[in-house]
Chain A
């Protein structure tokens, strides 16, 4: 199957220190690729590079087999993707306006915006909050707004950097179920960064383990978790120690 996204010899360095070094990585259409690794492993940097929010020091990025000029991504290209960053960054306006932000930026007609926002608010169970100022929402509600704001754009690729990290367990379980159903229905190619093994197991088809800016193991999620190499085993061991 042709890859949707392909990285080749991507390097990112800061003050002579290599933060990220990925010889090659491919993501196929409709796939949900998980990424795990300790803090500072380079997960967020990789998401930013993949979504062209950060320019790599060197290397090539291909989208549907076409090389992208990583330092100057055309706006139309960027508008095919959606990114949910680690922190919930909500605009100081109503929930409706927050979810509509990306469509307004694309100058979509008001009637279509209304229709789509209503649909996605309902999908995430936050229709009743439409007129509320989004700054006054709880963590779970704000995260739903954040996800709805990304999914409403009908992105070809969705980048999620620890989108559920700030949520309590019951909220997380409910949201994960709803969210997985949505992205499976829409067949959205998704890159999903998380620290949580349960989230990764539930959400992803494939899993990449990052450590020290390198992909240490990649394969089907079940394979990586059941047959970890020494790096993955040590990471999972450290995580379980941390939990205990």
Chain B
């Protein structure tokens, strides 16, 4: 209990003192996570719509891969991105390993299947008659998708919230591809791991409160958007 209270006090102290390093870590966490979720959303929703609405050869196989991807261990994602960005890897010449970009790539890899998979499920559940009804109103294909997205917006936003949850909690891949370099790739989750390994539980706890507040704030905004009207 003392440890908890101590951690809370430390967190408040850190916030009040305006420690620039903490601010930098929190800001980077926010930037990296939001970028990853935005990219995953922009790719994942159209991909989920296509998978949910259009039949094509090999669709079931793609769905199986997506569902497997939803449970992809972050360390495996980290390993793949490391190999891709390694000096001798396919993208090695860009020197992207141990950069925030690498962390974003890893986070996209773990959140994208969640957003695709859940969006696809939402679209598969749409009544076929609703499609006919929209068609009968004279909608183009694009307008049909627009109307359907509005119909399943709660499920789509749930997919985005789940994707964000995966990204903000991610540590293994970020550690592997980012390297937890001070001032460059240190984010809240990797900082917490580092502080715990140093035995600084109060600092780790303070950072965890910050991480939780961030997660709460973003989820609060997304949930409000989801439940509007």
Residues of A within 8 A of B (CB): 48, 51, 53, 75, 78-79, 81-83, 85, 87, 89, 91-93, 101-102, 105-106, 133, 149, 153, 159
Contacts and interface: CB of A to CB of B under 8 A. Distances in A.
B136 A91 contact: no
Nearest to B147: A91
* B: contact size bracket: 10 to 19
Interface of B: 127, 129-130, 132-133, 135-140, 143, 147, 150-151, 229
A82 B150 contact: no
B129 A89 contact: yes
A75 B136 contact: no
A51 B136 contact: yes
Nearest to A80: B138
B171 to A, nearest CB: 38
A85 B133 CA distance: 7
B127 to A, nearest CB: 7
Nearest to B130: A89
Contacts of A83: 132-133, 136
B151 A91 contact: yes
29 contacts: A48-B132, A75-B140, A78-B135, A78-B138, A79-B138, A82-B136, A82-B137, A83-B132, A83-B133, A83-B136, A85-B129, A85-B132, A85-B133, A85-B136, A89-B129, A91-B147, A91-B150, A93-B229, A101-B137, A102-B137, A102-B138, A105-B137, A105-B138, A105-B139, A105-B143, A133-B229, A149-B137, A153-B138, A159-B136
Given A92-B150, A93-B229, A101-B147, A87 B138 contact: no
A238 to B, nearest CB: 27
A92 B138 contact: no
A15 B229 CA distance: 45
B9 to A, nearest CB: 47
Interface SS of chain B: helix, strand, loop or mixed?
helix
Nearest to B133: A89
A81 B140 CA distance: 15
Contacts of B136: 51, 53, 78, 81-83, 85, 159
A89 B138 contact: no
A83 B143 CA distance: 18
A89 B130 CA distance: 6
A51 B133 CA distance: 11
A22 B187 CA distance: 70
Given A85-B129, A89-B130, 15 more contacts: A53-B135, A78-B138, A79-B138, A83-B133, A85-B133, A87-B129, A91-B150, A92-B151, A93-B150, A102-B138, A105-B137, A105-B138, A105-B143, A106-B138, A159-B136
A25 to B, nearest CB: 20
Nearest to B143: A105
A105 B145 CA distance: 12
Contacts of B229: 93, 133
Contacts of B150: 91-93
Contacts of A89: 127, 129-130, 133
Nearest to A83: B136
B138 A53 contact: no
A152 to B, nearest CB: 10
Contacts of A78: 135-136, 138
Contacts of A85: 129, 132-133, 136
